[in-house]
A and B are shown apart, each in its own frame.
Chain A
């Protein structure tokens, strides 16, 4: 396979990136992963602040739940979400099985512990004097939280990237809850880059699978570059 794969590298150049099939797959991948990561971030950062800076009973337990969630197997999450959204499940009436929404839900479950865990490490490492200064200047709890987030922005950016990386490169759960559906006209409904790669490999079309894999890697690199850039100079300063 390997020599053949090397010979097929020119395919990368000739690959029909403008085709509806490839474009729609990329669009679905980004839509699902970005929305899931956005929702995860909205939940994770406040949770990280609360767990990081308040004393409440069960705080250690919460931390260990987050840490366990970071390494939770994705196919198990997919299975659990499938049971939830299946027509026999508690949320069956919503008709979510084999939809992008179900995929977003499973990616959310996977990304949230990762983003929370890394954000938690980032905010707790912010120097205590920063918070003390914010308090002594008469800041409210919200002001102090904002200052802390600003100080920890690199760490939080890293957390979001880790969550995005987990979401977009994940195959097991999206295959189970999404069903890898593309229309007869080649437009993806729930087919992502990862599940498309799995399908192409199953059919022995390794060249196409490799090209889609290259696209996936390029997307991850681009998003990394953008987030690092944002954390570096743009919006957060």
Chain B
């Protein structure tokens, strides 16, 4: 009975809200009758510094805001922090790039409807003269081993970001536990880490997008390429987007989050991603439209259903 009453109240509230929003939205939009229910609402997006600092996000958000008459508040954090903010119900949608952390988030029940949106790759960058000679080795793990063996300065994000997660995976693959004077954790964003590596003559792992958009400011060069330029698959950098589960936090704006995910993964959103360049170079490669859809993108990787495995 109580549940029934709650549902009734919720429905009443929703009707009133839509009605009121319709009034205000209607006057703002004049006699246009597109989506009066969401106009004026705010979507809070937590995302990584890489999508923000490259300028891609503004490029994507402006047309979305215009289309629905809404506001997108983008908070640029590391992947770990972005997911943590969402765990607390303080954001509606998350755009990040660390599949292992995204899967954990979904398994805990905080995220739903994960979609692949785009990818780029990581590159190992360092001083132009390459003091320990990692340029020839071609593999990221060997490059990391060499850096560790020679004790060359390596600047780490150290901030639980997607890039940091990838960096730790590479150290793991190389069988190295990074520690010592040569290994410097900054706890800062990619842009700052590139600056620190640049100033201190060190190596670092960077996503290609941030590196390219900042290349004119620094003298670091790429020593190990990622898969976009034929490098190892280990350096792939896929981005995903997730809606915060409204069952976990009933205050989140789930409808608008799904509208945003729909827009980002639509042909138009994907075209904008593809056409976005910095310093004349494409930074991100759209991945949502596929002739061969990956159904694993909606659920944590390796999640096997009861019906198939028995």
Which of A86, A98, A184, A202 is within 8 Å of B189, CB to CB? A202
- With contact pairs A179-B73, A203-B191 given, residues A185 and B214 touching in the complex (Cβ less than 8 Å): no
B75: Cβ under 8 A from any A Cβ: yes
- With contact pairs A179-B73, A202-B53 given, residues A184 and B61 touching in the complex (Cβ less than 8 Å): yes
Closest chain B CB from A22 CB (angstroms) = 16
Q: In the complex, are the beta carbons of B89 and A98 less than 8 A apart?
A: no
Closest chain A CB from B120 CB (angstroms) = 17
- With contact pairs A97-B90, A179-B75 given, residues A201 and B192 touching in the complex (Cβ less than 8 Å): yes
Q: What are 13 of the A-B contact pairs (CB < 8 Å)?
A: A92-B89, A93-B251, A95-B251, A98-B73, A183-B61, A183-B73, A184-B58, A189-B71, A189-B73, A201-B192, A202-B192, A204-B194, A204-B195
Within 8 A of A (CB), among B2-60: 44, 49, 53, 57-60
Sorting the interface of chain A by its residue count into under 10, 10 to 19, 20 to 34 or 35 or more gives: 20 to 34
Q: Mark A201-227, 1 if CB is under 8 A from B, else 0.
A: 111110000000000000000000000
Q: Which residues of B are interface residues toward A (Cβ below 8 A)?
A: 44, 49, 53, 57-62, 65, 71-76, 88-90, 188-189, 191-192, 194-195, 199, 213-214, 217-218, 249, 251
Indicate the member of A180, A183, A201 with the most B CB atoms within 10 Å: A183
A75: Cβ under 8 A from any B Cβ: no
- With contact pairs A181-B74, A183-B65, A184-B61 given, residues A87 and B251 touching in the complex (Cβ less than 8 Å): yes
A88: Cβ under 8 A from any B Cβ: yes
- A88 nearest CB neighbor, chain B only: B88
Indicate the member of A1, A97, A98, A184 with the most B CB atoms within 10 Å: A184
Q: In the complex, are the beta carbons of A181 and B73 less than 8 A apart?
A: yes
- With contact pairs A202-B53, A203-B191, A204-B191 given, residues A87 and B249 touching in the complex (Cβ less than 8 Å): yes
- With contact pairs A202-B191, A203-B214, A204-B214 given, residues A87 and B89 touching in the complex (Cβ less than 8 Å): yes
Which of A92, A93, A184, A201 is within 8 Å of B72, CB to CB? A184
Instruction: Give chain A residues whose Cβ lies under 8 Å from the Cβ of B58.
Output: 184, 186
Indicate the member of B192, B199, B218 with the most A CB atoms within 10 Å: B192
Q: In the complex, are the beta carbons of A203 and B53 less than 8 A apart?
A: yes
- B54 nearest CB neighbor, chain A only: A203
Instruction: Give chain A residues whose Cβ lies under 8 Å from the Cβ of B49.
Output: 202
Indicate the member of A1, A95, A201, A204 with the most B CB atoms within 10 Å: A204
Q: In the complex, are the beta carbons of B89 and A88 less than 8 A apart?
A: yes
Rounded to whole angstroms, the CA-CA distance of A1 and B217 in the bound complex is: 10
- A185 nearest CB neighbor, chain B only: B62
Rounded to whole angstroms, the CA-CA distance of A9 and B289 in the bound complex is: 47
Instruction: Give chain A residues whose Cβ lies under 8 Å from the Cβ of B71.
Output: 183, 189
Q: In the complex, are the beta carbons of A204 and B217 less than 8 A apart?
A: yes
Instruction: Give chain A residues whose Cβ lies under 8 Å from the Cβ of B251.
Output: 87, 92-93, 95
Q: In the complex, are the beta carbons of B73 and A202 less than 8 A apart?
A: no
Which of A97, A184, A202, A204 is within 8 Å of B218, CB to CB? A204
